[in-house]
A = this chain, B = another copy of it.
């Protein structure tokens, strides 16, 4: 029963953004999210998101030999990320000044 402000949400956005910087696998994403959120999200969190993003045509599996599946953004994914980034900035426009204070 997260008190309030459990900071849930925007997972698809974060995933799109991370993959846009570097092709990544589900496990790599989990590790990166762990760094940011403080704990590693469960497999049941990340893989359904990757599946949905894939089915919606925003990311694409890179053919790889092993068991690890890496994903890259598609053109639609790039477009979607641009739109989502603008929305994010409009919603949180007044957070810009907070980063310096928080991440001293």
Query: Is A56 in contact with chain B by the CB < 8 A criterion?
Result: yes
Q: Which residues of B are found within 8 Å of A93, using beta-carbon distances?
A: 36, 99, 103
Contact assessment for A91 and B4 in the assembled complex, using a CB-CB cutoff below 8 Å = no
- A88: chain B residues within 8 A (beta carbon): 7, 95, 98, 102
Residue of A3, A4, A89 contacting most chain B CB atoms (<10 Å):
A4
A72 CB to closest chain B CB (Å) equals: 16
Copies in the complex: 2
Instruction: Annotate A81-99 by CB proximity to B: 1 below 8 A, 0 otherwise.
Output: 1011111111111111011
Q: B7, A84: Cβ atoms under 8 Å?
A: yes
A86 and B100 CA atoms in complex are apart in Å by 10
